[in-house]
Chains A and B, each alone.
Chain A
């Protein structure tokens, strides 16, 4: 079975052109997602995970652009689509949920306006029908008295409710793929949990593929089937969630897991990865992680290739072998 979304060797650059190289926010990233599966795309701030999401949506802001590589969605290379064809894909077959629900809804338009326009952008239906569908979608994500809430403005909702509205908008057209860019980061834990359950149900029931972008390993372990760990624009480790989280091969993944508070013993200092993520224009030669890595040797001065091992892969010549959890 061919995957719904296949990203191969994606490189997204900012700036550059006319002979000068741009900054590679995303560098040689490949992964795939099948229908009904959830991929957790994990990394620290600035690792390029959001840019990957926007690259798939072709919503990169100037001066960002896809420099090379392919994004194949349901057999079509999205780079070959015209702007209008891409627009018809967005919101209809690929939907996106953003990180900050306080910012994603337009503050001066009613929820009804923002939902009805989303329906009518793709389906030629009357406003009444569009409103009806919007109301149903709000009900689906658990918003009480949806009819009244339709005429409200975003500032009259709490953060969690706003994110539900954003998810309802994403679900309006029953998309094949949802890119969720840290949708629970700005929410408190109980709401987080509810939203994750919604997504789980969604992926199972409507066979929707989800790319869940996050830095929260706990969320990924609950929700995702597969995981892809990014560091400084590159994938460093991919594989099934259970395997990667229990036996990480890349020292960075191991460090991330080790720094989750529940992994630490009470009274001990929290473990952390030394140093800072290098700025994207000052990456060390070779493996980007080697300056922070305990296992680094001279061999790390050359960029290691992604090594495959059964159904997983990692980009390290000194893979961790001990079990963590």
Chain B
């Protein structure tokens, strides 16, 4: 177990290192942050001073080495735009994104799993076919369009739910959470639903496919031949095998929910990390982009590890230490 954790962390380091290089080169190719940061009316001396202040007068490789040096001291650099530590900026926005992602994933599981189970167990019912056709809509309609439609219907036409922002928040352990206040919960509902739609369809289809794969297995037939009640055959023999692929996807999708909630956060003006990263890319705010992507790499590595640990619980054939 311990060796496995260490090996993974080492792998993560390499991925992070490679990623920082790509971001440095990428951002420098896109454009010069100086053009955006400095008032066009500024004189030459002022320009030179600002450029030197951000270290942008150095060659790119030198900037990169300086960045690495800072990193070793736990310093991700200051945001060009806000002038504050990039990491702090991101961590500030993390709770907003986290509660959005967790709510969306919750919705996706609560609806996706049972509907997929139903459609898988009774594939010939009309209701199952309706569910499956619905799921096609769920993942083919573009998120931004669905988001706009949700606002049109529920906010503009019906006036039931607010259109943007987090609403009032309540503080727990020094962090602001929306879901703790009634009004905040109302603000959370539309963006979470918007974000969940695609994942719900995905989990639904995955569950259905899994059921159809597990049901014809001999061990299911043998369980029936033992005279087990149908509930036990489904709840124990089928579900436990089904959970192996489903847990993988849920874990990975949670990562992508956090990392790519950009569109939804933009549409609903949800002050999360997604909105921050889009703004930062627009302003070529390199320290924030780098710090954000590094966090995402770490997030995926940690999630993958958690998935693997879940595997060993779900599937006795898998042992973490066995594969060296």
Chain A residues with a Cβ under 8 A of chain B: 57, 59, 61, 87-92, 95-96, 98, 100, 103-110, 113-114, 117-118, 121-122, 153, 155, 166, 169
Most chain A CB within 10 A, of B216, B218, B227, B237, is at B227
Contacts of B216 in A (CB 8 A): 61
Contacts of A87 in B (CB 8 A): 227-230
**Which of A103, A110, A113, A118 contacts B218 (CB under 8 A)?**
A103
B218 touches A107 (CB 8 A): no
Q: Which of B206-236 contact A (CB under 8 A)?
A: 216-219, 221-230, 232, 236
Closest B-chain residue to A92, C-beta based?
B227
A109 touches B226 (CB 8 A): no
Contacts of B219 in A (CB 8 A): 103-107
B226 touches A90 (CB 8 A): yes
**Chain B: minimal CB distance from A306 (Å):** 30
B225 touches A95 (CB 8 A): yes
> What does the 1/0 interface line of B6-30 toward A look like (CB < 8 Å)?
0000000000000000000000000
B226 touches A59 (CB 8 A): no
B36-44, B52-60, B150-158, B311-319: which lies at the interface:
B311-319
A153 touches B317 (CB 8 A): yes
**Chain A: minimal CB distance from B51 (Å):** 61
Q: Kindly list 11 other residue pairs between chains A and B, CB separation below 8 angstroms, not including A90-B227, A91-B227, A96-B225.
A: A88-B227, A90-B225, A104-B218, A107-B241, A108-B240, A109-B236, A109-B240, A113-B236, A121-B229, A155-B317, A166-B222
- The number of residues on chain B lying at the interface, defined by a beta carbon within 8 Å of a beta carbon of chain A, is 24
A121 touches B226 (CB 8 A): yes
**Which of A91, A108, A166, A169 contacts B315 (CB under 8 A)?**
A108
**Chain A: minimal CB distance from B220 (Å):** 8
Closest B-chain residue to A99, C-beta based?
B218
Closest A-chain residue to B244, C-beta based?
A108
Number of A-B contacts (CB under 8 A): 79
Known A-B contacts A103-B218, A106-B237, A109-B236; the reply to A122 vs B227 at CB < 8 A is: yes
B222 touches A98 (CB 8 A): yes
**Chain B: minimal CB distance from A155 (Å):** 5
Contacts of A122 in B (CB 8 A): 227
**Chain B: minimal CB distance from A145 (Å):** 19
A108 touches B227 (CB 8 A): no
Contacts of B315 in A (CB 8 A): 107-108
Contacts of A57 in B (CB 8 A): 225
Q: How long is the Cα–Cα vector from A88 to B222 in the complex, in angstroms?
A: 15
A118 touches B241 (CB 8 A): no
A–B complex contacts, Cβ < 8 Å, 16 sampled: A91-B228, A92-B227, A96-B222, A96-B225, A98-B218, A105-B219, A107-B315, A108-B314, A109-B240, A114-B223, A117-B228, A117-B236, A118-B227, A155-B317, A166-B222, A169-B226
Q: How long is the Cα–Cα vector from A106 to B239 in the complex, in angstroms?
A: 11
Closest A-chain residue to B240, C-beta based?
A108
Q: Which 6 pairs of residues, A with B, have the shortest CB-CB distance? A: A91-B227, A103-B218, A90-B227, A91-B226, A153-B316, A96-B225
Q: How long is the Cα–Cα vector from A118 to B217 in the complex, in angstroms?
A: 18
Q: How long is the Cα–Cα vector from A226 to B218 in the complex, in angstroms?
A: 28
Q: How long is the Cα–Cα vector from A59 to B241 in the complex, in angstroms?
A: 21
A121 touches B317 (CB 8 A): no
Known A-B contacts A87-B227, A95-B225; the reply to A108 vs B232 at CB < 8 A is: no
Contacts of B228 in A (CB 8 A): 87, 91, 117-118, 121
Q: How long is the Cα–Cα vector from A108 to B255 in the complex, in angstroms?
A: 27
Most chain A CB within 10 A, of B224, B226, B237, B240, is at B226
A106 touches B224 (CB 8 A): no
Q: How long is the Cα–Cα vector from A114 to B225 in the complex, in angstroms?
A: 12
**Chain B: minimal CB distance from A95 (Å):** 7
Contacts of B224 in A (CB 8 A): 59, 90
Q: How long is the Cα–Cα vector from A295 to B218 in the complex, in angstroms?
A: 40
Closest B-chain residue to A172, C-beta based?
B226
Contacts of A105 in B (CB 8 A): 219, 222
**Chain A: minimal CB distance from B290 (Å):** 42
Contacts of B316 in A (CB 8 A): 107-108, 110, 153, 155
Contacts of B223 in A (CB 8 A): 106, 114
Contacts of A90 in B (CB 8 A): 224-227
Closest B-chain residue to A61, C-beta based?
B216
**Which of B229, B230, B241 contacts A108 (CB under 8 A)?**
B241
Contacts of A103 in B (CB 8 A): 217-219
Closest B-chain residue to A106, C-beta based?
B219
**Chain B: minimal CB distance from A263 (Å):** 33
Closest B-chain residue to A63, C-beta based?
B124
A89 touches B217 (CB 8 A): no
A98 touches B221 (CB 8 A): yes
Q: How long is the Cα–Cα vector from A104 to B221 in the complex, in angstroms?
A: 8
Q: How long is the Cα–Cα vector from A145 to B316 in the complex, in angstroms?
A: 21
B232 touches A117 (CB 8 A): yes
